[in-house]
Amino acid sequence: MIQLHYHPSNASFTPHVLLREVGASFELILVDRDGGAHKRPEYLKLNPNGKIPVLVADDLVLYETAAIAMHLADMYPAADLAPALQSAERAHYYKWMAWLTNTLQIRLMHYFYPARLADDVDPAPLKRRAEADALALLQQLDDQLAAHSGPWLLGAHYRAVDPFAFMLCRWTRNFSGRKARDFPHIGPWLQRVHQRPAVQAAFEAEEATAPFY
């Protein structure tokens, strides 16, 4: 049995979508973030970082969104969510997974939690800077979508990087100015990802409301 420890609209959204995309049978376990459940010993046994998500599949306990996404893609090859091993597309899939998690996601974390960056410093300029940096990074995503004629991030096929990138773009929906959806190639791609039944079902299960991205 697969269990996904999640919280609505958190990083768990990516594995949540992927579990639906591959047609897995799974149970959603709500982490009481407001009550601090993710910092309690029981949860820290699953993820010592105290972060959401965690995927539990029998004896496997896995944290880190990118790792969970790649593992699900590998476990359900029929869903074709990862390019063929040793292909150039596979190499770029690894690159985008790494970039999404260690470059774009990090700046978005700085945007959401600027006060964690430094004590006794006004977080407002740190937040503004993180927002500007994230927007500059989004240009790379827009350029990637413009670089080929396919509908998805890597080209012709929807891959596990698509819902991951979608989730991070969604997190810009309350930016003070330009948002991911305002980029000329990201906007239509977000619309396409949003229309996928797995994404719709995950939003419904998480009781998300508009704007979705």
Ligand X SMILES: N[C@@H](CCC(=O)N[C@@H](CS)C(=O)NCC(=O)O)C(=O)O
Site residues (vs ligand X, CB under 6 A):
10-11, 38, 50-52, 63-65, 101, 109
d(CA 178, CA 183): 8
Smallest separation (angstroms) from ligand X to the CB of 55: 10
Min separation Cβ 68 and ligand X, Å: 7
* Residue 37 near residue 43, CB atoms below 8 Å: yes
Residue with smallest beta-carbon separation from ligand X: 65
Closer Cβ to ligand X, 6 or 158, answer by number: 6
Question: From the CB of 52, what's the least distance to ligand X, in Å?
Answer: 4
Report helix, strand or coil for 62.
Answer: strand
Q: Which of residues 50 and 187 has its CB atom nearest to ligand X in the complex?
A: 50
CA distances from 110 to 75, 81, 87, 115, 208 (A): 32, 29, 34, 8, 23
Bond into 197 cis (ω within 30):
no
Contact present, 79 and 143 (Cβ < 8 Å): no
Q: Which is nearer to ligand X, 51 or 110 (CB)?
A: 51
CB of 38 to ligand X, least distance (A): 6
In the complex with ligand X, the residue whose CB is nearer, 68 or 138, is 68
* CA proximity to 60, closest of 77, 50, 51, 47: 47
